[in-house]
Amino acid sequence: MIWSVWSRLALVALTPAMLSLSAVPTGQTPAPAAGQAPAASPPYDLLLRGAHVIDARNKISAVRDVAIAGGRIAAVAAKINPADAVKAVDLSGLYVTPGLIDIHAHTYTGTGERRSYAGDNSVYPDGFTFRTGVTTVADAGCAGWRNFEDFKDRIIDRSKTRILAFLNIVGNGMRGGNYEQDLADMEVAPAVEMARKHPGLIVGIKTAHFAGPEWTPVEHAVEAGTLAGLPVMVDFGANRPERPLSELVTKKLRPGDIYTHVYSGLRGEQDPSGHVNPALLEGRKRGVIFDVGHGGGSFLWRIAAPAMKEGFVPDSISTDLHIGSMNSGMKDMLNVMDKFLAMGMTIDDVIARATWNPAREIKQDALGHLSVGAIADVTVLRVERGHFGLTDHNGARMDATARLVCELTVKDGKVVYDLNGISRPAWQTLPAGYGPTGDARWDGLNPAPIRR
């Protein structure tokens, strides 16, 4: 476009205003000439057009356009004029959802500590999130009050993924071995103090992996959660008759507390007759939340499939992402969601359990929906049809005919992942020697530098 302008101006004397055009990168609006009124900027930065929008909070499941401005959702309507946006992307035949939220991941890495979830067992999140449509994760207890601020400085503050955290009731966090069995390090007061110091960042208290017969980890986690006004997530550790699952979900946990690994079969989630443990049904009536937490050892078809047939569906879908799960039965967030599609759950229900439900569970009402004014985290998904296999943590396969693929991820109003370049121009349409093709108002990948 710029070069065609120059060809028509070949015999005209070049003014400073004209010269400034040659420095304007592709996708940027040139500055007006001196004394000339600036051109009106479109009201929207990014317009996602023609997709089927699924927004559980607002009860939308229909073809809609979604407009974004200033990092926020600006409009959701049946038709929005593409001329009103700096960038409009046609998404016909795809699904638009709020950015996916994974409330069970392990991301405190980089310390060099072996066999530790505050070290080598965890993963850097950015390599796993945006490419699967995840914009927010909650780290599930890798750090306690003693090392949380190192985790914050080392990982949370340096990641593009939005990382929230469940604070481990163990002061040393999820460092394995004797650390996680140390009842003396399960102190309530310093955990509450740390949670209060980082409101909105620490979103819950976690207890995990305890092998002893005592109720201390659960009781102290619940006490800390009560004082800090936060939910508790429980990985119930070893199956001990002295502290049965039934007592946990019907007496110890409060409404809004989260039992993760619900389809593991490791702690009596299924009774001897092959049915859902009645205690889980009673726990749900009390308001206890049941989360997937697939992981490398916490999801079996022989537990999940019968439970789904009985109507015991999860409240939230999560990965339990770590080095032991990322290449096993659990591949990523979309793989776990695919499993519930394969067991008969509708796409609307699956999306709800990966967006608005987890947002509510961790009291992050600004996330997980596409309301006007909400943070513009958006995921664009394609449903691919074919023959696929999905495996559980023991390597047993269920056949499937559909799977979800992430085409585009938007975080805070900027494109941060684009699988097939659907937001990009064909290279043949660009001028010779073209540079970055995006505009910083909507593009987080290839924005051209702004030059005044």
What is the per-residue pLDDT across 47-63, written as a single tens digit (0 to 9) for each? 999 999 999 999 999 99
Sign of the CA dihedral with 18 first, then 24, 26, and 31 last: negative
User: 224-240: b or e for each residue (b if 16 or more CB lie within 10 Å)?
Assistant: bbebbebbbbbbbbeeb
Identify the H or E element spanning 379.
strand 378-391
Contact 307, 292 (CB under 8 A): no
Tokens standing for 448? 């051209």
Tokens standing for 441? 């108002």
What is the β-pairing status of strands 72-77 and 85-90?
unpaired
Give, in words, the CATH class of 98-404. alpha beta
pLDDT at 176: 94
pLDDT at 36: 53
d(C-alpha 53, C-alpha 48), whole Å: 10
Contact 373, 361 (CB under 8 A): no
Contact 27, 437 (CB under 8 A): yes
In this prediction, the residues of the chain whose per-residue pLDDT falls under 70 are: 1-39, 450-452
> pTM of the predicted model, to two decimals?
0.91
pLDDT at 12: 30
Q: Which residues contact 319 (CB under 8 A, 6 or more apart)?
A: 102, 104, 105, 293, 294, 295, 325, 330, 332, 333, 336
Tokens standing for 182? 């140390």
CA 18 to each of CA 2, 13, 451: distance values in angstroms, whole numbers, following the listed order:
11, 9, 15
What is the β-pairing status of strands 202-207 and 232-234?
parallel
